[in-house]
């Protein structure tokens, strides 16, 4: 099965469509041309949720059998993660590169009341390393967010918390630091979704207020601790979801400044335009002010 349709340079939107492990793959731009269906090579008891996706590799969480497994959607190559020292209640999983690579680092996080619990799987290990980092008085509040997967960048994993604050973990030396996000306190209470994507070699952060009332995109200078709002994505289009978020350059000026979301109206994907400040679908002449009338897709990612 091809990675992408020949007439589209953009990623496909994948989601589990039934309880038999069938997934659907949608082209975000040409939804009315139909979708591709594919059967995942796992039994019903194994396929449960999609935790993370990168470069066609899926991390799948199960509630029976092995707790975590990985699989390449297009080649069918698969494997299991060790269960030794793997804790329950974890969210926000990610890996740095292909899970079969000898350099791959894998991470998960949970934030109980008084400490950060981070688990890491390093190359060659047969079990997970566990870090319990207690909150300090001067720490920025950080609460893990299962709706936003971490992003590996320049030797560290970056996390967006449910209140919009940023956490950074350097896996090789076990260092954690947290930074206050760009949202005001009242805005952080209304934060509905947030995502991290890499755009032109830099990380960008997407914040969506309650019921889609507004979307803001920022970059962050970690040394100066300065957030800068981006009014334009340049020549790029963003594709965001809980399990994967990425950017794609485009020569088509009409496709720029779009943020494709894990939401649909009928058989079409929804995108937000930074140019119009509204939501649209590819074929509709109508625009939308918020998420009213949209379906949020669970168990999904961009591949």
- What would the pLDDT profile of 291-303 be if each residue is shown by its tens digit? 999 999 988 999 9
pLDDT of residue 47: 56
Q: Is residue 27 part of a domain?
A: no
Q: Is residue 243 part of a domain?
A: yes
- Asked if 190 contacts 224 with a C-beta cutoff of 8 angstroms, the reply is no
pTM of this prediction?
A: 0.91
Q: Rounded distance, CA 52 to CA 72, Å?
A: 12
Beta bridge mates, 221 = 226
210 and 300, same domain (yes or no): yes
188 and 148, same domain (yes or no): no
302 and 285, same domain (yes or no): yes
Q: What is the mean pLDDT of residues 104-109?
A: 94
219 and 110, same domain (yes or no): no
- 61-63-67 Cα angle (round to 5): 50
201 and 89, same domain (yes or no): no
Give 61's pLDDT tier (boundaries 50, 70, 90): confident
pLDDT of 30 strictly over 90: no
pLDDT of residue 63: 63
Q: Is residue 24 part of a domain?
A: no
Q: Which residue has the higher pLDDT, 213 or 284?
A: 213
pLDDT of residue 44: 47
Q: Is residue 260 part of a domain?
A: yes
Give 35's pLDDT tier (boundaries 50, 70, 90): low
Q: What is the mean pLDDT of residues 23-29?
A: 86
pLDDT of 48 strictly over 80: no
270 and 209, same domain (yes or no): yes
Q: Rounded distance, CA 165 to CA 144, Å?
A: 10
Q: Rounded distance, CA 152 to CA 107, Å?
A: 10
pLDDT of 156 strictly over 60: yes
Task: Compute the mean pLDDT over every residue in the chain, rounded to the nearest whole number.
Answer: 87
pLDDT of residue 59: 93
160 and 192, same domain (yes or no): no
Q: Rounded distance, CA 155 to CA 169, Å?
A: 9
- What would the pLDDT profile of 157-206 be if each residue is shown by its tens digit? 999 998 999 999 998 888 899 999 999 988 988 999 999 999 999 999 99
pLDDT of 289 strictly over 50: yes
Neighbour tally for 95: CB within 10 Å: 24
Give 1's pLDDT tier (boundaries 50, 70, 90): very low
169 and 267, same domain (yes or no): no
Q: What is the mean pLDDT of residues 230-254?
A: 95
pLDDT of 117 strictly over 90: no
- Number of domains the chain contains: 2
225 and 289, same domain (yes or no): yes
pLDDT of residue 9: 82
194 and 264, same domain (yes or no): yes
pLDDT of 250 strictly over 90: yes
Q: Which of 181, 203, 233 is the C-terminal boundary of a domain? A: 181
Q: Rounded distance, CA 279 to CA 262, Å?
A: 13
pLDDT of 65 strictly over 50: no
Q: Is residue 13 part of a domain?
A: no
For the four alpha carbons of 230, 232, 233 and 239, in that order, the dihedral sign comes to positive
Q: What is the mean pLDDT of residues 103-132?
A: 87
Domain boundaries, position 165: 54-181
Q: Is residue 44 part of a domain?
A: no
194 and 300, same domain (yes or no): yes
pLDDT of residue 4: 43
At residue 31, φ and ψ (nearest 5 deg) are -60, -35
Q: Is residue 2 part of a domain?
A: no
SS (H, E, C) the chain: CCCCCCCCCCCCEEEECCCCCEEEEECCCCHHHCCEEEECCCCCCCCCEEEEEECCEEEEECCCCCCEEEEECCCCCEEECCCCCCCCCCEEEEECCCCCCCCCCEEEEECCCCEEEEEEECCCCCCCEEEEEECCCCCCCCCCCCCCCCEEECCEEEEECCCCCEEEEECCCCEEEEECCCCCHHHHHCEEEEEEEEECCEEEEEEEEHHHCCEEEEEEECCCCEEEECCCCCCEEEECCCCCCEEEECCCHHHCCEEEEEEEECCEEEEEECCCCEEECCCCCCCECCCCCCEECCCEEEC
Q: Is residue 23 part of a domain?
A: no
Give the lowest-confidence range in 109-118, 167-176, 203-212: 109-118
Four-CA torsion 90, 167, 176, 134, nearest 10 degrees:
-60
pLDDT of residue 120: 93
Give 2's pLDDT tier (boundaries 50, 70, 90): very low
- Asked if 159 contacts 150 with a C-beta cutoff of 8 angstroms, the reply is yes
- Asked if 236 contacts 200 with a C-beta cutoff of 8 angstroms, the reply is yes
175 and 63, same domain (yes or no): yes
Q: Which of 146, 181, 216 is the C-terminal boundary of a domain? A: 181
Q: Which of 181, 202, 225 is the C-terminal boundary of a domain? A: 181
Query: Parallel, antiparallel, or unpaired: how do β-strands 215-221 and 91-95 relate?
Result: unpaired
């Amino acid at each position: 099965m091809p990675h992408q349709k020949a007439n589209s340079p953009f990623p496909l939107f994948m989601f589990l469509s039934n309880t038999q492990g069938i997934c659907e793959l949608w082209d975000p731009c040409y939804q009315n041309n139909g979708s591709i269906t594919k059967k995942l090579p796992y039994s019903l008891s194994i396929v449960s949720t999609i935790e993370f996706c990168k470069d066609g590799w899926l991390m799948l969480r199960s509630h029976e059998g092995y707790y975590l497994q990985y699989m390449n959607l297009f080649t069918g190559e698969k494997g299991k993660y060790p269960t030794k020292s793997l804790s329950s209640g974890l969210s926000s999983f990610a890996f740095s590169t292909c899970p079969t690579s000898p350099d791959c680092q894998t991470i998960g996080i949970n934030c109980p009341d008084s400490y950060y619990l981070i688990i890491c799987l390093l190359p060659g290990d047969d079990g997970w390393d566990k870090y319990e980092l207690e909150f300090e008085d001067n720490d920025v509040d950080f609460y893990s967010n299962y709706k936003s997967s971490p992003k590996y960048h320049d030797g560290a994993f970056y996390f967006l918390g449910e209140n919009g604050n940023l956490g950074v973990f350097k896996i090789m030396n076990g260092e954690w630091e947290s930074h206050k996000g760009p949202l005001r306190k009242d805005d952080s209470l209304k934060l509905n979704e947030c995502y991290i994507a890499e755009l032109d070699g830099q990380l960008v952060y997407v914040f969506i207020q309650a019921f889609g009332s507004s979307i803001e995109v920022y970059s962050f200078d970690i040394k100066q601790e300065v957030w800068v709002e981006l009014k334009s994505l340049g020549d790029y289009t963003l594709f965001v979801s809980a399990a994967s978020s990425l950017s794609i350059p485009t020569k088509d000026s009409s496709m720029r400044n779009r943020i494709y979301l894990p939401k649909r109206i009928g058989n079409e994907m929804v995108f937000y335009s930074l140019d119009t400040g509204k939501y649209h679908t590819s074929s509709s002449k109508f625009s939308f002010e918020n998420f009213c009338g949209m379906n949020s897709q669970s168990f999904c990612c961009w591949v």
